[in-house]
Amino acid sequence: MKYLLGIDIGTSGTKSLLIDEKGKVIASYLYEYPLYTPHPNWAEQNPEDWWKGTVVSIQNILKISKVPPDSIAAVGLSGQMHSSVFLDKDAKVLRRAILWCDTRTKYECEWIMNKVGRKKIASLVANPALEGFTAPKIIWLRNNEPKLYDKVDKVLLPKDYIRFRLTGEMCTEVSDAAGTLLLDVKNRIWSKKMMDLIGVPYSFLPPVYESIDVCGNITEKISKLTGLKAGTPVVGGGADNTCGAVGTGVVKAGRVLTSLGTSGVIFAHTNQVKIDPEMRVHTFCHSVPEKWYLMGVMLSAGGSFRWFRDAFCELEKNEALKQNIDVYEILTQKASKVKAGSEGLFFLPYLMGERTPHQSADAKGAFVGISARHNKEHFIRAVIEGITFGMKDSLEIVKEQGIKIEQIRLTGGGAKSKFWRKLQANIYNSEVVTVNNTEGPAFGAAIMAGVGGYVFGSIEEATEKIIKVKERVEPEKSEAKKYKAFYDEFKSLYPALKKNFENISLLLKK
């Protein structure tokens, strides 16, 4: 029996997952680490924490599973997109990594868009300059920490930094590189034209490969440290979103993934490059060779629910401890007692600004429509509905690009709750399904390892063999009709409040 190891460098922790060639999970281990917010809208992590998490999780996987290291055919890597690791000529980390959810680069994004031009940037890299992307972070470092910038020799993404520590090789692959704003997404190569226009040295970037390519091997030093066999191949792997899509079988046209984690993601597979003329959704390279996807991103989806839980639900937390259940079970149960639309109470889930569709660091969260009739149950349901409306924004834009949605596959927190599964079916007005894999991006990374390690012939072959639909939920016509009206009202709220949000941001800077 051959085994495959997937490692996901996430925002909350590093997860390692071992599966066999039939897709059965043998062992998993999560190592958590802190996120630093030294200023408003800043988000940073220490790459050394990622590395410690990787080493500890691999050691524990081998200990728990008792699988012989020479039975592990290959290692696959997944990681948070966009986050930037700056290295000097000695490959030493120069500062804490600036993360995907960091929105300090508003000025740099405006400068890039003005410098390159909206039409040209679409033709060069298929996406607009947004605060979370990698290129604006490089420009921010140049503008604000010039002494450190002068020492930069390479810029790596999180999983690629871990690859370097595992193998000694500096490289990346197309799905993660697509989120840097420096990749020619259509041709799956670095865009030297884009780099020249904004003054990013070509030497900063490592070679780029496909996700299933072998991009290094476990070194003797790392073998002694982790227990993995020296020479074990490490494949390119993918961005967390493409690994999540592979791990749920979203590798064919017509399939869409909705992932509700800290952020919310709509991921729509496409066989051709499609670019939203308004660039409200992203066009990125899929980990499936010569395939692409459209992606909409909410910066604070499940994060909004967690914020509400932590800020207002101490009683429910205590009750969950007494009952030994997840506090979210209590919260969704309370939400289920309220009618669709929360009796006119709306929640705008823009706690960290917003990416899709508003592309604004100034966007703010808000409750709108509060009346004396509303109690905590209404507020809980409004939060869940607001998050799901925000996800629907991306789905509607995907449809506008001519992509036919035949099946929506759910993953993340929104897939675990029966109440939220039904709510999504009604708000999306579409059948939604869950699948037998709930392990997240590390599972997709392990599948890619299997392709690179010759256990599987292709990603498509592997997913058809391993991933099965578990449950189907159909929308209720009457509820879907109600939600259509509430969604139309939800869409009108951000434009009405946009100027107020911008003014609030200005007041906070004074």
Residues belonging to the active site = 240
3-state secondary structure 309-374: HHHHCHHHHHHHHHHCCCHHHHHHHHHCCCCCCHHHCEEECCECEECCCCCECCCCCEEECCCCCC
Alpha-carbon span 448 to 459, nearest angstrom: 7
Q: How many other C-beta atoms can be found within 10 angstroms of the C-beta atom of residue 438?
A: 16
- Is the bond leading into 207 cis (omega within 30 degrees of zero)? no
Alpha-carbon span 262 to 35, nearest angstrom: 13
| Phi, psi (deg, nearest 5) at residue 364 | -125, 155
Contact residues for 464 (Cβ-Cβ < 8 A; gap 6+): 249
Alpha-carbon span 173 to 211, nearest angstrom: 5
Alpha-carbon span 400 to 136, nearest angstrom: 28
Under 8 Å between Cβ of 136 and 109:
yes
Q: How many other C-beta atoms can be found within 10 angstroms of the C-beta atom of residue 24?
A: 11
Task: Work out whether the CA dihedral 272, 277, 278, 279 comes out positive or negative.
Answer: positive
Structure tokens at 427: 């708000």
Under 8 Å between Cβ of 101 and 32:
no
What DSSP element (H or E) covers 418?
Answer: helix 418-428
Alpha-carbon span 414 to 49, nearest angstrom: 28
First and final C-alpha spacing in the chain: 63
